[in-house]
């Protein structure tokens, strides 16, 4: 376990932090990274500090500029969007995969001069096919972490499929949020298994860290009645770098869906945030914690509720993140086990620490020959 070579797909708010956090973990060497416009590969290990410096305030989260604009790596012929029933944007509308940053000029892309994202790094090369370029190097990669946008629901499952079709053998891990995507990965399980891929899905904070916590908290019980996940995120200093995540969260608000959120301009997003004084509250979110707990046999998906509060104008968490699992013990008592995160731990710490922990768990499983699709709760004590 002291020699895991990994790649990061997407170096936005999450992917950059993944690289940074990996430097504080043993045995992880970042050997490849890409964003929509560029790729950096060094099998002896990327210079992560240089990459982070070059992409500081410059994360290519939107589509303008650079060769990736009509990239072969965009999702294609993906059919009707499940949330809205309408047809998603065409491949040339780059935001099909990551939101409507394209809707206003200059919106969503932060760049130094002409250099947007990874190509601003001396290790970066421009490319029109960033994901294919990583696939081409994947023989020498043990794990691939997907920090890609998920506004096009089948984007991540399709990326997984492409790795499998190229006979990649190793771990893939994502931090996606939406429940419905897990089924799309399950649909591809045969292909992933055949290739020798251990796919760990929904392995960020929620779903991910908190799903695992719920699975652990459930162990006191023989019957679980309810799982309540309530998260708080304060994002003032990280707001610019996490616009992709904020846009995806907006799709959970009443009156919005994935389609409307994807097509909002940056100005419209700002106006919405102003209307709420910078604080957005979410209830009954479609977070995959539900299906991930059900597929691990912990409880029914309908008994899992996820909500939370996002404050983009303060770094203080607006509410404490908790997971409460209510159930009945073998001897007839009813109780609630609660897991609470310290307010001092940031969203970035709670997504990327667990994501890299699950990545390592994935590698252990992969090396033991366990292939297929795993959720965070599958990597905890069984129920």
Give the residue ranges of the annotated binding site for NAD(+): 10-14, 244-245
Question: Using the rule CB under 6 A, is 123 a contact of ligand NAD?
Answer: no
Nearest residue to the partner ligand NAD, using Cβ: 12
CA–CA distance from 79 to each of 86, 90, 151, 283 (Å)?
9, 10, 14, 28
Sole binder of ligand NAD in the list 4, 28, 36, 215 (CB under 6 A)? 36
Sole binder of ligand NAD in the list 88, 149, 327, 375 (CB under 6 A)? 149
Residue 213 exposed, middle or buried by CB count within 10 Å (0-12, 13-18, 19+)? buried
Classify 272 as helix, strand or coil: helix
The interface with ligand NAD within residues 265-304 (CB under 6 A) comprises none
Sole binder of ligand NAD in the list 66, 232, 244, 353 (CB under 6 A)? 244
Strands, E, within 131-195: which ranges?
143-146, 170-174
Least Å distance, CB 185 to ligand NAD, is: 14
Helices 13-22 and 243-250: crossing angle in degrees, nearest 10, is 130
* Binding range to ligand NAD, per CB under 6 A, among 145-153, 269-277, 307-315, 338-346: 145-153
CA–CA distance from 59 to each of 53, 69, 78, 170 (Å)?
11, 15, 26, 27
Question: Using the rule CB under 6 A, is 73 a contact of ligand NAD?
Answer: yes
Question: Using the rule CB under 6 A, is 133 a contact of ligand NAD?
Answer: no
Sign of the Cα pseudo-torsion (22, 24, 29, 33, in order): positive
DSSP state of 112: E
- 7-39: buried (b, 16+ CB within 10 Å) or exposed (e) per residue? bbbbbbbbbbbbbbbbeeeeebbbbbbbbbbbb
- 224-250: buried (b, 16+ CB within 10 Å) or exposed (e) per residue? beebbbbbbbbbeebbebbbbbbbbbb
* Binding range to ligand NAD, per CB under 6 A, among 13-21, 292-300, 323-331, 356-364: 13-21
Looking up tokens 């607006």 gives: 318
How far apart, in whole angstroms, are the C-alpha atoms of residue 236 and residue 246?
Answer: 12
Nearer to ligand NAD, 243 or 327 (CB): 243
The interface with ligand NAD within residues 80-99 (CB under 6 A) comprises 97-98
Question: Using the rule CB under 6 A, is 177 a contact of ligand NAD?
Answer: yes
Q: To which H or E segment does residue 198 belong?
A: strand 197-200
Is 236 annotated in the active site? no
**Beta 125-126 vs 372-374: how paired, if at all?**
unpaired
The distance from CA 190 to its chain's CA centroid, rounded to whole angstroms, is 23
* Binding range to ligand NAD, per CB under 6 A, among 11-19, 119-127, 185-193, 372-380: 11-19
Question: Using the rule CB under 6 A, is 138 a contact of ligand NAD?
Answer: no
Using alpha carbons only, give the angle 153, 76, 243 rounded to the nearest 5 degrees.
Answer: 45
Nearer to ligand NAD, 33 or 224 (CB): 33
Q: In what order do the strands lie in the sheet with 143-146?
A: 125-126, 38-41, 28-34, 4-9, 143-146, 170-174, 197-200, 372-374
Letters for 200-219 (x = contact with ligand NAD by CB under 6 A, - = none) are ----xxxxx-----------
The distance from CA 163 to its chain's CA centroid, rounded to whole angstroms, is 18
Question: Using the rule CB under 6 A, is 148 a contact of ligand NAD?
Answer: yes
**Beta 28-34 vs 4-9: how paired, if at all?**
parallel
Question: Using the rule CB under 6 A, is 150 a contact of ligand NAD?
Answer: yes
Sole binder of ligand NAD in the list 176, 184, 192, 250 (CB under 6 A)? 176
* Binding range to ligand NAD, per CB under 6 A, among 9-17, 42-50, 255-263, 293-301: 9-17
Nearer to ligand NAD, 207 or 353 (CB): 207
Is 270 annotated in the active site? no
Sole binder of ligand NAD in the list 4, 7, 8, 13 (CB under 6 A)? 13
Is 110 annotated in the active site? no
* Binding range to ligand NAD, per CB under 6 A, among 45-53, 68-76, 164-172, 271-279: 68-76
Nearer to ligand NAD, 12 or 107 (CB): 12
Least Å distance, CB 220 to ligand NAD, is: 25
For ligand NAD, the binding residues (CB under 6 A) are 9-15, 34-36, 59-61, 71, 73-74, 97-98, 117, 130-131, 147-150, 175-177, 204-208, 242, 244-245, 248, 351
Catalytic residue numbers read: 177, 248, 252
């Amino acid at each position: 376990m002291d020699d895991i070579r990994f790649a990061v797909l997407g170096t936005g708010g999450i992917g950059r932090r993944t690289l940074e956090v990996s430097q504080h973990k043993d045995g992880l060497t970042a050997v490849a990274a890409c964003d929509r416009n560029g790729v950096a590969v060094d099998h002896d290990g990327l210079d992560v500090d240089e990459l982070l410096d070059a992409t500081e305030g410059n994360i290519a989260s939107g589509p303008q500029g650079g060769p990736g604009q009509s990239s072969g790596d965009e999702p294609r012929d993906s059919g009707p969007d499940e949330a809205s029933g309408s047809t998603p944007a065409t491949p040339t509308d780059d935001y099909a995969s990551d939101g409507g940053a394209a809707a206003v000029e200059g919106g969503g892309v932060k760049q130094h001069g002409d250099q947007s994202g990874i190509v601003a790094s001396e290790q970066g090369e421009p490319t029109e096919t960033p994901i294919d370029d990583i696939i081409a190097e994947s023989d020498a990669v043990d794990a691939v972490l997907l920090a890609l946008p998920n506004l096009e629901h089948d984007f991540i499952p399709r990326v997984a499929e492409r790795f499998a079709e190229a006979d990649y053998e190793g771990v893939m891990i994502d931090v996606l949020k939406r429940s419905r995507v897990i089924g799309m990965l399950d649909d591809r399980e045969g292909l992933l298994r055949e290739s020798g891929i251990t796919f760990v899905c929904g392995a960020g904070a929620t779903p991910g860290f908190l799903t695992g916590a719920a699975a652990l908290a459930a162990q006191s019980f023989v019957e679980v009645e309810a799982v309540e996940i309530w998260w708080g995120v304060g994002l003032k200093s990280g707001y610019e770098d996490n616009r992709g995540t904020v846009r995806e969260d907006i799709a959970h608000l009443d009156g919005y869906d994935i389609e409307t959120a994807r097509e909002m301009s940056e100005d419209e997003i700002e106006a919405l945030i102003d209307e709420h004084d910078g604080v957005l509250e979410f209830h009954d979110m479609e977070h995959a914690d539900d299906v991930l707990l059900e597929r691990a046999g912990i409880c029914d998906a309908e008994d899992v509720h996820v909500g939370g509060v996002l404050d983009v104008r303060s770094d203080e968490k607006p509410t404490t993140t908790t997971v409460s699992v209510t159930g009945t013990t073998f001897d007839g008592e009813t109780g609630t086990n609660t897991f609470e995160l310290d307010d001092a731990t940031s969203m970035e710490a709670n997504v990327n620490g667990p994501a890299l922990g699950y990545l390592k768990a994935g590698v252990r499983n992969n090396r033991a020959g366990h292939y297929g699709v795993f959720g965070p709760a599958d990597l905890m004590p069984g129920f």
